[in-house]
Amino acid sequence: MPKTAAEIERGVKHLRRADPVLKEVIRQTGPFAVKLRRDRFQALVSSILSQQISGKAADAIKRKLLDYVGPEGMTPRFISTLSVEDLRTVGLSRQKASYILDLAQRVHEGSLPLERLARLSDDAVIEALTEVRGIGLWTAQMFLIFSLGRLDVMPHDDYGVRSAIQKLYGLAELPNRQTCHRIAEPWRPYASIAAWYCWRSLEL
């Protein structure tokens, strides 16, 4: 995620100082640990596969897709040669198959240069990704956090983060966007690390 252990340490120290609630979560959870998804195309494919289904079901479909295309076939070039019907044979809905083909074609043709996204601002990355059918704000934010390692992303629409905030801060209902950003203000500029600890808090 961050490029150095020092950046992680600075972020965790900042969160401990800035938010006593999160300080306790950090104490109980332990060290921050995120492994970046280096294959950006596969990361986006996985995000599309995971939409509105369980993680177990998404993993099963991904395994079938990998078996179908072979170890060298999970590339934009090869996927873009397939049809919607080809992708449906591994369990994808027609809609998700069309999303993955749109992504593959854009990357293969160069209109979405994934290797250059790291040079862009967070907002510019979101703008570029959400032009792809089936990629919305949440998917783009997950890409920023888990593929590009951006430190200050607040995924305010994520159900897990909202549930954690509700639980940790004693809210009567799931927080809306405004409430999430108000609570997250002290976390800046390390909202991504804070979001990770929010997810982990649900496992405590």
DSSP secondary structure letters along 125-136: HHHHHTTSTT--
* pTM given for the model: 0.91
- Two structure tokens written together for 2: 């961050």
Question: Residue 104 in contact with residue 80, Cβ under 8 Å?
Answer: yes
Which of 114, 101, 96 shows the shortest CA–CA distance to 50?
Answer: 96
pLDDT of residue 86: 96
**Complete domains list, the chain, with CATH:** 5-34+152-201 (1.10.1670.40), 40-146 (1.10.340.30)
Asked if the model's pLDDT at residue 74 lies above 90, the reply is: yes
Mean pLDDT of the chain: 94
- Two structure tokens written together for 5: 């252990």
Dist CA 115 CA 152 (whole Å): 21
Tracing tokens 């890409």 back to the chain, one arrives at 143
Q: How confident is the model over 103-157, as pLDDT tens digits?
A: 999 999 999 999 999 999 999 999 999 999 999 999 999 999 999 999 999 999 9
Asked if the model's pLDDT at residue 71 lies above 80, the reply is: no
pLDDT of residue 200: 96
* 55 SS3 class: helix
Q: How confident is the model over 2-12, as pLDDT tens digits?
A: 467 899 999 99
pLDDT of residue 3: 60
Half-sphere exposure of 23 (CA within 13 A, CB side): 8
Q: Please list, in sequence order, all residues whose beta carbon lies within 8 angstroms of the beta carbon of residue 98, skipping any fewer than 6 positions away.
A: 84, 133, 134
pLDDT of residue 2: 47
Q: Stretch 174-203: mean pLDDT, rounded?
A: 97
Cis peptide, bond prior to residue 189, ω within 30 of zero? yes
pLDDT of residue 77: 96
* 22 SS3 class: helix
Q: How confident is the model over 13-54, as pLDDT tens digits?
A: 999 999 999 999 999 999 999 989 999 999 999 999 988 888
pLDDT of residue 1: 46
Dist CA 47 CA 163 (whole Å): 20
Residue 203 burial by CB count (10 A; 0-12/13-18/19+): exposed, middle or buried?
Answer: exposed
